[in-house]
Every structure is written in structure tokens, then in C-alpha cells.
Chains A and B, each alone.
Chain A
């Protein structure tokens, strides 16, 4: 029975399935529209943001962890001192999101009843530095010191052998906070996954305050008043970042092969990777011709696709679906928002293209080290 459950979890965690599940689940957890909201309430997913729901959530995570620690294969990975922060991350990520969402849902209910939000009674201007700030900071500092000391006493520093260029560890993993990036490298060229995307993430986050023209939901927890933004951020943060870190930590084994949590990390495992470029699809498979020697001609379709993605889609949307938004935000704000949004969306799109079509690159010019 337990074996069956483990096999099922192994199956569920396969990147294609788990990523799809999460992508489907996110709008139900954080419904961006009324339709999703109704669905969420119908499925009683909104009950997660209550005390009972939080308890059940923590319980499920803990059951999973207990299963992990008692499993001979998964425990090896879970017990690695390097991976302790990820276990911590899973708990804290759930707890704080639950806590925020719980308060937001409470406030939403109050607001719907015409009441003021819970935070209304908080001091609206300032509190004293001493004792209100410094005292709790000091207590927090003490507790955190205790935590760090105990942690360092219980787990030795995870040092490894001297670096040797002739013998690298397998798998070679980045520090845990970069594992999301490393996961992106599976789907993108290094310069995109390693340089362009991280830069976009930083710049995009810096741009958020300038793009947010929603005056509601300031100073108190609320979901309903800014649910679209909430959803987009949560998708980017939880699915495209935290989930990828967890995949990188727990599910990537020797040769960067994917392993379910309860699977043995067999270094002999071989997975065929037959990836095909878009230009090859068009010229070789579609037209049954050799690849043109002119690079630009060869990659013309790829460039066209990329151009269409970033130029045509926003334009078309501004005239149709998002017309009201375009009018509200103005062209610059709208354009920037769309650019970053589409860049973010490019990641899951590329992942699916890889899984479904074995697509390697849309534009592939290895001669110039330029691949998209």
C-alpha cells in the first residue's frame, strides 16, 4: 500500500505532471477572476485559508516528510545538511502564505459586510522605537542566535573534497537559492537563463511600484481587491521559482536526470534527449530540405515567432481583451507590464514546448552563441 502511494507520488512529481498540476492549481488557490473564485469556493479550496485548513496543510506536508525520512532513498536526500534549508523553506513558505491569505480572506469578508478591515485599529502613524521596536528586535535576535547555535551544533558544515577539475561531483548542484536558475538552464540557453532572466526578475520587481496604480488594499491584508496581481506574482514566485528550487534539490539526481522522491538515485540511469531546433522542424522535417547556409534565412521563422510574441500579442490584446486595462494604464505602463509578463510566461511556454515537441531552441545560432 505504502509502496503504491510512493509510486503514485513519484509519478505525480514527474516535471510534466507536477508542473501542469501546479499551473492548474494556482488560479484555483489564488483565483484571479470571479469564475475561478466560484470554482475555488465550489471545490472548497478557500477553506484552506482557515485555521482548520492550515492545520490540514501542515499535517499533509508533515506526513510527506515523515514518509520521506522513513524511506531509504528519500531520507538520504532529505538528511543532507545542505538540504535542510529547503525543508525549512517548504514549511515557512506554506505557513506565511497561509497566514497572509487567512487574514486577507477575513478582511475580504469584513469588507463585503461593509465593516472596516482588522488592521484599522492599528496605529496609523508611528510607534516608539523603545521599547516597541528595539525590544522585539532584540528578542528576535536572541531567538535567532539560539536557533543558529543549535543548528550549527547539530549539523556539521557540509564541506566536501577539494575542488578538482578532473573529477566533478555528480550531480553538480548550485547553492540551493540558485537551483531555480539551474533548472531554467535545462530549457534555455545559458545567457538567457543565467543573465537575461535574472536581470528581468530584478528590474521587473523594481518596476512593480511604478506600475501599480491600484489604490485599494494598502495597509491591510486583502486578496479580492488586487487578486489579479496576487495571482500573477504567486505563479511567478511559487511555481516558477520555489517549485523549481524544490525540483532542483530533491528531484534532480546523477547526470541531472529526474528522479521521483522515493526513487533510488541510480547513476546508470539513461534518459534519451533528442532535442530538435525550430529551424530543423521547418527545413529538415517540414520541407525535407537541407538547412540554408544563410543563418538569418535559416532562423527567420524563429525570429518571426519571437517578434510576434513580444510585439503582436500585446498589440492585439490592447485592442481586444485588455482594452480597458490599456486605457487605464497608458501605453508605456501597459507595454512594460506586457513585456515583463510575457517574459515570465516564456518560461512555462518553453518548458511545454520542450516536453511536447522536444523543441530545443526557437532561434538557434550556435555560430554566434545566440540561442533563444
Chain B
């Protein structure tokens, strides 16, 4: 075919067809693009939420309508009547209104003329002044504008009078109309005020519910959300909160958090949606979070600062929600097409671990009211000594969780120690000491041979110093029954339990139940140690273990003997019959050579080994084993003062990338950090499974046999150790002094909450006392209550305050620094910080004092019924005894006493102290009052200060003289009479 220039190379019709097809395809792809771009998941949620809101508002409207129903008629009738009355005067009103229109017209004209004249005058004034300035230059001057200006002023004055007259007309007419209309207006205002709430709901509903809208609003409501136009003011839009104080780290820069969670979680801060389904459900703790009155307003803290997750995500998957367990994961995959966006480094904390977010800011105090799981986890970490082996810079180890082993030889024998190390649970079912042996990676016969030998050598080493085992002499054994009574009365069970049977342990585990496990479960001591040791230990714990947390209860020799007898009565024959691990000599050689080969070239190792005799080998293997198992993480062992913790550092464990966690060959758990932690705590050695590992390189974290609840709590704590960057402005307790923070830690270390309620937690001892009302006091407002100086002396050397409590405040082994910290902590709780305070002075001549004296007298308060006045005993029996009032002045702070007297129940719920009787002013004014109440009280009745009578009472209490420390008197009394007052004087109980 020949080709000509005017012809086309391609068939143009075919090209046209191609063009048509491609254009249509292009159009469809563009339409698809628009649809895809506008079809966001969050919009569907917003549409659902709108429907739900309409429903909620309608219900509210119904409720409001019902509320006003009864009275509404009255208001409406009143309004209608006023309206009717107004209608009857309609002729007059119309007339007035017409006149007003006319008058306003006149005024308008007059005002216009007046204003234009003013403008003229301004011009003349300028000309006049101008002329005046120039005329100074010539001798003769004649200002021709002067006259014009003056004339014009005259004219303006005329206009002004006219204008003012017209103005007056208008205002008079207006006033008349207003007066005529006012009854109707008033009735309408009243009606509106009455229906205010109803109208608000109604208006809100009209904005939400399309069916309630006017036609034009209906159209606008559709149009505002159309593509492209929706940039202006759409109804369905992304909601976001920008949080500057919490940053997301992108390694080379940090970016502020932008939380878009509220695009779908629309009811999160609205209490109306508590029962709505997700994602609309209200936050469960609006008292703490989100609302502007809470401690964490939404605008300042956002959502992901605590919960983590991808804050900019606007769909279920892209927000990186994380399922709580494999079941939920399956559901999510089916229902939402969920998959893990593994490129997002901070996935959301699964719901059960939400509290891990708290620690980022609240890392300074060891317990946090409102975050029980986290506090529980932290307490477990401290109690079980996790931070003894794992460095946690933000949650450091405080005191050794295990006893000092330097004098172990005086306490028990080798056989017991070997059996205990091999399996602590065989001796004490809830032993704090974890199990190193019989675990997933060392239960085969070869491993048992090895570990038995290791145990043997370690025990040999520990008992090497040959401290002599103390005796089992009868002279340390007292009355067992009395010992049991004492054990339950003096306060031992603030920290210890005696639960021989595993099934008697509490079903639940939380920070409260943990308080009873501060010390060991004191079972089977008879199979472990000697009476002399127990006696000496409870008499003075620090002589055996200088750094112990165990306090001194100041027991008398008899009391100590009785308790010893009680404790020694528990034995475990089954345990006694167990065989202790035996040494296997060839295994000893293997272990020694194995370690030597790890450290030295084989020839050197061989040489060194050949130079060792039997006891050298024992020492060498013991040393290696103690270091390998990290015994010194929890125990003081002589010679290991410089040993390093054996675990991996956990300071930022919550932020550790998941590929740094070795899942080994375990594939049946979720590939998430919390799943790994859970598994590690459940079975610490499991990741060795199927691996070929030398015995010296095996995993060695011991098994604590945590319950599922405990694991959840500990994992919460571990997840909370994050690297997140926070502005120092939002760190909690940033204004609390270091001293006070240390004090809070000491409160936790010493388990003060085992006996006392502090910051809404504690006092568990009361549960296990026969008479909970004789439990140690609630320490609410303690910082506000007592003088710091008194508190210092009291903590240093406790005296008896509540005379009828058999339970004792122990003497703790505290330095001055510790004591100051403790005081600072109590003051911090109550926001007081005065260290030195003057003694409140009392004017005994004032009527205030006299009135107080009257109120305290037997006629009214009769304080001396229950309270000691120095060494004067109370009038009533021991069951109602209360603190010595002679001590009040130096002990109590004057402002606090007034608050206390006002309402004792508020400060100490359940106290037997009644609020003092205060006569009302009516009574004081009644005839003959002076005879009953006395002059001073009548005088006070006229005082403006409502607290004046309480102050008077306080002043009287502060002036009571007498012995301040009545400990010996009280002790002597009870020595003679015993603590059985309850049974004897039960009938007196009703006198209260």
C-alpha cells in the first residue's frame, strides 16, 4: 500500500473507538477514586452515632417533658392570660405604636438637621481658626468668619432644642408601650426560664435530627457533606486533638501527638453513652480522665499518650487496636478484617494492660490510687526482687527481698537448705523464693544430676563459716496457746500469715491482698529452725539481719517465748522425710571443667583443674553456681558484695522492639511483646525448648509460679517501662520533694499499709482480727493532724496513744533521714509542709475557753468518760478508752482539731468518737438558757464565727494538764486485767 501525506497512517475511526473506551474507563476510575476517597470508615461510625444521639436526645426530651409536665400548664395559663389582657387593650396599643412611628420620623428628621449643622460648624470653626492664625502677622486684622461662626452656633442651638424635644417624645411613647406589654413579657420570660432545659434539648435535637429540620436546613445538611464542598463546614469530619506535651519518636526527630481517636469514639466523654456499644461507649473513668474537671483533661493528654496506638489512624485497623487474647483476635479478624500493622512501633495497649500508660508520668510514687493493677505489678516486682537481677533505673531495688545469708548456719542446717533450694514449694506452698530447679530446661535426669551437685556445693559454701546452729532448748518455749493469741493480737499478721493449707489462700490477688504477704507464710518453722533462733529473731531482728524490714514489737521475754512456742509448733513431716540432693563427684568434675573451659584455653583449664583438690572444686563450683543463678540479686552473701545482677536491663522494656525478644521455636503464642512477657513469666525457661544449648548458657530465670492475675499485673508494669518522651510539665509529682517521694517508698517498703489505711489503701490486718474496731488507726489526714516534731519522736520510739488497742505500733529500724522522709510523705499527702510550728496558746480568761470547758464537762460532752486526762483514768471501762487528752497540745495541730470535732466520721470513718454536742443559737436564745448553758456559751451564741464553740472546746482540750506518756500505766493495767474487757462489758456497748 502506498502512503500519501494527506492520508492517515492509523484508522481514525478505530482510534476514536479506543479514545471513547479509554475516556469512559478514565471517568469510571475517577468516580471510583472519589468514592474511595469519601467512603471513610469513620464516617459510617459518625452516621451511626448521629442516629444514636438522636435516640438519646429524644429520650432526654421525653424525660424533660415529663419533668415539666405538672407545672407547665400553670406557667402557660399565666402567659395566656397576660396575652389576653394585652389583646383587650389592642386598640390603645396600635394607636401608641402608630404614634411612635410618626414620632420616630420627626426625630429622625430633626436629628439629621442637627448633625448636618454640626458639620457646617466644624468647617466654620476651622476657617475661623485659620484666619485667626494668619491675621497675627498683620497689624490690622478683621476676622470675617467670626460673625458667621457665632451666628451658626445660635442656629445649632435652635436645632438642638428641637431634636431633644422629639427625642423625648419617642422615649415617652416607648415607655408607655413597654408598660402596657410588660405583664405578658414577664409571663413569657418565666415560662422560658422554666422550660430552659427542655428548650436546650429541643434545639440540640433540631440540629441533629434531619426529620425535625426545616426544608432549607435539610438541604444544607446534605450539601455540607458533598465531596469538595465538604472542606468548609462538614458535619462528618475527622476530630483531632493535638497534644504538644507528648511526642512520638521517629528516631531522628520527635513529632507531637495528633489524636484522631474521637473521630469514631464519639461518646467517649459523654456520660449519656455508658451503655452504648463500641466505639461509642463512654470512658469508664470520667472522674479521672477526659472531662475538663478531671485530672487528665482530653485537650491536654489526648488518648494515645496513655493507650498508645497509631494516633493518626482513622480506621479500626490503622489505629492499631490490639486484641486482648487470641479469641478476640480471631473475632476481630472476622468482623473488622483486623491485621496487625507491624510497622507501627507503639501498638495500642490491649485493654487489660491500659494502666501501663500511667507509669510514664506517675513513676515517682510506688503506688497510685486508681491504677490498682499497675501498683500491684510494681509491688510484686519489688516484693519478688525482679529488680534485684534486672536493672530498672526507673524502679530501683530497695531492700533485699531475701534474708541475709551470712549467719545462715545459726538458723538452720545444710540438709534443710539443700531441700529448700531444690524446691522451696515443697516446704512452703507459697514460698517467696522462686524455683530454679525442676524447670522446663533442667528436669531431665542428666540436668538433675548436675543441679543436685550445684545445690550441694552452694550449701557447702554458705555453711562454710560454720556458725553454730542455735539450740532447741526448752527455756525458749513458753505457752503455745497464749502465743497464738499474742500472734493474732499484737500485730504479727499485719505482715505475716500462717496458712498451712494452700486452699486457704485468698482467691483473688491484688495490691490489697499482697499487703498480708509482706513477710513469709510462717508455717513449718519447727521443721526448719530452732527455738533459740526464733526467740532471738523476734526479740531483735536486726542482730541477725541488720537491714531487715522486720520491725521490733518490743515483746517481753515471756511474750517472745509464747510466740516462739506457737511458731515452733508447726512442722512438716513430709518435708523432713524428703531426701536431700546428693553430690555426684564425676558431675562435680564435669561442672568444674566446663566452667574452666569457658574461661580459659583448654590446656590452662586442664592444668587448673588438676591442681584443684576436692574442696577447691566444691568452692569453685559453688562460686560459679551462685554467680550463674544470681543468688545475690536477693540475698546478701559474704564475698559477693560486688556481684553484678544477672538479668537483662528492663528500664525501657516496654519500648523494646519485638525483634529483640527471642521467641526461640515457640510459635503458638501471639507475636507481641506482652504475649512474650506473659509466656516468660508463666514458664521462664520455655524459650530454650528445642534449642541446643550448653548447660552454662541455659536460661536461668527462676519460676515464681505467679497466678494469672499476678502475671497480668507484672506485665502491665513491664509494659509501662517505656522510652516515651514527655514534656516535664506533665510529669506527675513533679512538685513533690525528693524527701517526700522517698517517704512514700518507705511506706511501701515497710508495709505500713498492712496495718494502716494510707491514701485509701491498706488496713488489711483488721480483716484478720477478732474485733476489727481495735485495729490500728486509719492514717487519713495524718500529715495535717499531728506536729511533725511529735511524729518524729513517735516513729522513733512509739508510745501508747490508743490505750485499749492490744495491737502495737512496732519500732522500725529507721535512720533520721528515713524519719524525715516519712514525715514529708505524710505532709505531702495532705499538702502541708510546715516543719516547725508554734504551740497554740490558750487564753483561759476568754469566754471561748470557758464555753469549751462547759461543753467538755459532764453536762455535755463528758470527754472524760472515754479519754484519759493525763494519768487520770476515764470514767468508763476499758472498752471505750480513748487517747490521753493531756497529749493533745503537743501532738495535734490546732486547725486540724477543729475539723476533727466538726465531723469525726469524715476524717476517720467508723470511729467511735461522737461529734461533740454544740447548742444551736435557737436554744441559746430560749428563756432560761443561761441557767443550763452558762454565761460564756450564751455569749458565744451571738458570735459570727460558726466554729467558735469548736475552737473553745479545742482550747480547753489543749489546756488539759497531766502526764503525756501513759504507756506504763496502761501496760500495768492490762497486765493485771487482761484484754478481755469486751466479753465482760458487752452490755455497756449500747451507751455510745
Contacts and interface: CB of A to CB of B under 8 A. Distances in A.
A138 B18 CA distance: 10
B29 A162 contact: no
Interface string B1-15: 101010011101001
A270 interface: no
A162 B251 CA distance: 7
A149 B345 contact: no
Contacts, number: 68
Given A128-B9, A162-B250, A163-B252, A149 B15 contact: no
Contacts of A145: 26, 29
A162 B5 CA distance: 59
Interface in A141-164: 142-143, 145-146, 149-150, 153, 159-164
B36 interface: yes
B12 A131 contact: yes
B18 A123 contact: no
A162 B252 CA distance: 9
A146 B25 CA distance: 7
Given A143-B22, A153-B36, A131 B10 contact: yes
B32 interface: yes
Interface string B339-370: 00001110000000000000000000000000
Given A150-B29, A153-B36, A170-B659, A136 B22 contact: no
Interface in B781-797: none
Contact of A153 (B5, B26, B32, B250): B32
Interface string A164-206: 1101001000000000000000000000000000000000000
Residue in B8, B22, B23 with the greatest tally of chain A CB atoms within 10 Å: B22
B657 interface: yes
B19 interface: yes
A317 B25 CA distance: 58
A139 interface: yes
A165 B252 CA distance: 9
Nearest to B345: A161
Given A149-B33, A153-B36, A131 B659 contact: no
A149 B344 contact: no
A347 to B, nearest CB: 34
Contact of A139 (B22, B251, B657, B665): B22
A138 B22 CA distance: 10
A165 B3 CA distance: 64
Given A123-B3, A160-B343, A165-B251, A131 B29 contact: no
B30 interface: yes
A142 B9 contact: no
Nearest to A126: B5
A142 B25 contact: yes
Contacts of B252: 162-163
Nearest to B657: A167
A121 interface: yes
A268 B252 CA distance: 30
A40 B12 CA distance: 42
A159 B345 CA distance: 13
Contacts of A121: 1
A334 B25 CA distance: 53
Residue in B9, B30, B657, B660 with the greatest tally of chain A CB atoms within 10 Å: B9
A288 interface: no
Interface in A2-35: none
Nearest to B250: A162
B19 A127 contact: no
A143 B23 CA distance: 8
Interface in A300-355: none
Contact of A149 (B22, B32, B657): B32
Contacts of A357: none
Contacts of B345: 161-162
Contacts of A127: 9
A220 interface: no
Contacts of A135: 10, 12, 15, 19
Interface string B230-255: 00000000000000000001111000
A113 interface: no
Contacts of B26: 142, 145-146
Interface string B908-937: 000000000000000000000000000000
Nearest to A124: B3
Given A150-B29, A164-B251, A136 B343 contact: no
B617 to A, nearest CB: 36
Given A161-B345, A167-B657, A139 B29 contact: no
A367 interface: no
Interface in B7-53: 8-10, 12, 15, 18-19, 22-23, 25-26, 29-30, 32-33, 36
Given A123-B3, A128-B8, A161-B344, A139 B19 contact: yes
Contact of B10 (A132, A149, A161): A132
Contact of A142 (B23, B249, B250, B344): B23
A73 to B, nearest CB: 14
A165 B249 CA distance: 13
B36 to A, nearest CB: 5
A100 to B, nearest CB: 21
Contacts of B1: 121
A138 B19 CA distance: 8
A127 B3 CA distance: 10
B251 A163 contact: yes
B9 A153 contact: no
A138 B32 CA distance: 21
Nearest to B3: A123
A160 B344 CA distance: 8
B516 to A, nearest CB: 44
A167 B660 CA distance: 9
B513 to A, nearest CB: 40
Contacts of B8: 128, 131-132
A150 B29 CA distance: 7
A145 B30 CA distance: 10
A154 to B, nearest CB: 10
Contacts of B29: 145-146, 149-150, 153
B22 A142 contact: yes
Contact of B659 (A132, A142, A150, A167): A167
A146 B660 CA distance: 43
A139 B23 CA distance: 8
Contact of B33 (A143, A153, A165, A268): A153
Nearest to B659: A167
Nearest to A141: B22
Contacts of A143: 22, 25
B18 A139 contact: yes
Given A161-B344, A165-B251, A132 B25 contact: no
Nearest to A130: B8
Contacts of A149: 29-30, 32-33
A136 B660 CA distance: 55
Contacts of A167: 657, 659-660
Contacts of B22: 139, 142-143, 146
Contacts of B19: 135, 138-139, 142
Contact of A150 (B18, B32, B657): B32
Contacts of B30: 149
Contacts of A153: 29, 32-33, 36
Nearest to B25: A146
A93 to B, nearest CB: 25
A143 to B, nearest CB: 5
Given A162-B251, A268-B665, 5 more contacts: A131-B8, A139-B18, A142-B19, A145-B29, A162-B249
20 contacts: A127-B9, A128-B5, A128-B9, A132-B8, A132-B10, A135-B12, A139-B18, A142-B22, A142-B25, A142-B26, A146-B22, A146-B25, A149-B33, A153-B29, A153-B32, A153-B33, A162-B250, A162-B252, A167-B660, A268-B665
Q: Which 6 A-B pairs have the closest CB atoms?
A: A162-B250, A142-B22, A161-B343, A149-B29, A127-B9, A132-B9
